Structures are given as structure tokens and as C-alpha cells.
Homo-oligomer: A and B are copies of this chain.
């Protein structure tokens, strides 16, 4: 029985909050637009008007926010840090650049608050099922204390010191972005050569080409169902961070670079709010006249 606060109850944060409540913890929630948090009251959460109110007295503060600047703002520009209990742990499950995560950890350490960067993979389905892959960076002590709560949301693994959870998430996103590209190319190749791409996807299951992306995003491509899921604009944000991390390490990652350029084009063409499986639209765009199947595109509302 730990007292927990969760800041950010969007597409991911809301089902994560439900998992925490189901595990029997006391939970206070806050969201910038309060209507997204309101529904959690019926499930036992205390809905707060400010992040400072939510974190007061909490042992563990979870943040699940859009990007690095948002996390910085919510923690340090809205009175939240000042309201944190000494000895409490901030677990930032947002996906943000590793260097910003390390800055947050250092700033909080100065006031006696621990920090874990603990971004996730598995999407809204994984969040609802409590099966997220959770990649944690920080001290063993902080990880051990946060672990029971993290286990209510998925499978936490301590990667190493502060920032390495975010680095693991970059590795995750590089694989996700590239594998979406691989599945799009493979299905379009099969269709252009006269094979039924739905049968191809089915047949590939269980072989070496099998993956979460083939199963879930391959099906989205066949259905041309572009409501997110994870939007293109978020994938591009992650790919830009990947390219920056590669550059600062002096690394040439030729496939990630090619995929990033194509995702950037897709974003520039106005598809930022589509699910990232809409990479298929970019592949079709550079192949005029080619199209995977004849179903209509289902655009996000």
C-alpha cells in the first residue's frame, strides 16, 4: 500500500492509472485538461486541480507526459518540485531525451528526491493489459522501491544509471520505426507480385519475420486504419532524438536515417496525427499508382 500520484492521464496514463488502482494503491491524479482525469474518480482516484496538490504526501510520483519540455514544465515551473516529499521517488515514464532525464535526476537529487527514467513500450493495449515493457534508468535502491508499483503496469527491467532507460527506449523506437517500414515494404511487394497480403501476414506468423509490429501494425496497414495508437508526430519526435543521440556518439545508422527521412516527409505532408503504421502512405507516395488493397483509408477523427 503505497501513496502514489500520477501526472498525465492521456491515452497511456489513464489505463496505467487503472492498473495502479487495481493493485490496491492509493492514487491521486492530475491532467492538464481535467476532463481526461475525471473518469478515474469513479475507479477510486483522487482527481486534483494542480500537479502540486496531487504530489503532496505521495511516496511515488509518476509522470506520463508528451515530451521533455512538458515534463520540465510540470515538475519545475508549476510548484510541483517544491511540494514533493523528501525521500519520495519521481518515476518519469514519458519518452524524453536521455540528457534531459539526467538533468531532472540531478535537480531532484539536490532536494533529496530520487528519480527513475522509466519509459515504456507496448502501446495502449499493453497499458490496458498491464503488460508494458518498462525500461528503467536510475539507482538500484530507487528501482527496488518503485518496482512493486511498476509491476502493476508491466515488466520493469533496470538497464543502468540515470538516462539509460531513455536510451533503451530510443533503441526500442529505432526498431519499431524500422520494422514498420519493413512490414510496409514486404506487404506492398507481395501485393504488387500478385499475392494476397492478408494471407502473407497470416502465414508469416510464427516464422522469423514474426513480431508485434507484423501482428498489430501489419493488420492496421491491411485495414488502412490510421487512427492512433501512437501518432506519426510522436514517432518523428523519437526518431529525431535517435538521430541526435547517434550524431553525438559519432554513429552512422543508415537504416534509421533513411526511415527518419521518410517519416519526416510523411509528417510534412500532414499525416502527423495518423498512427505510425501510416508509414505505408509514404511508401505508396514514392511509388505512384501502387496501393495495398482497395479498402478506404480510415483517417483519425
Task: Check B133 against A204 for contact (C-beta < 8 Å).
Answer: yes
Q: Contacting chain B: which of A27-35, A69-77, A82-90, A190-198?
A: A190-198
In the complex, chain A residues 103-162 whose Cβ is within 8 Å of any chain B Cβ: 120-123, 126, 131-137, 154-155, 157-161
Contacts of A193 in B (CB 8 A): 98, 167, 170, 245, 248-249
Task: Check A206 against B155 for contact (C-beta < 8 Å).
Answer: yes
| Minimal beta-carbon separation of A146 from chain B (angstroms) | 15
Q: Contacting chain B: which of A7-15, A48-56, A174-182?
A: A174-182
Q: Contacting chain B: which of A39-47, A255-263, A293-301?
A: A255-263
Task: Check B254 against A258 for contact (C-beta < 8 Å).
Answer: yes
The CA of A192 and the CA of B249, in the complex, are separated in Å by 6
**Interface presence of A63 (CB below 8 A):** no
Task: Check A209 against B259 for contact (C-beta < 8 Å).
Answer: no
**Interface presence of A219 (CB below 8 A):** no
Q: How many residues of A contact B (CB 8 A)?
A: 82
Tally of this chain's copies: 2
Contacts of A207 in B (CB 8 A): 120-122, 126, 132-133, 172, 212
Which A residues contact B (CB, under 8 angstroms)? 98, 120-123, 126, 131-137, 154-155, 157-161, 163-164, 167-168, 170-176, 178-179, 181-183, 185-190, 192-196, 199-200, 202-214, 216, 242, 245-246, 248-256, 258-259, 262, 283, 286-287, 290
Task: Check B186 against A171 for contact (C-beta < 8 Å).
Answer: yes
The CA of A214 and the CA of B176, in the complex, are separated in Å by 11
In terms of DSSP, what is the predominant structure of the interface of chain A? helix
Name the residue in A120, A174, A209 with the highest tally of chain B Cβ atoms < 10 Å from its Cβ. Answer: A209
Given contacts A158-B199, A167-B194, contact A121 B204 (CB under 8 A): yes
Task: Check B206 against A154 for contact (C-beta < 8 Å).
Answer: yes
Task: Check B242 against A189 for contact (C-beta < 8 Å).
Answer: yes
The CA of A160 and the CA of B197, in the complex, are separated in Å by 10
| Minimal beta-carbon separation of A266 from chain B (angstroms) | 13
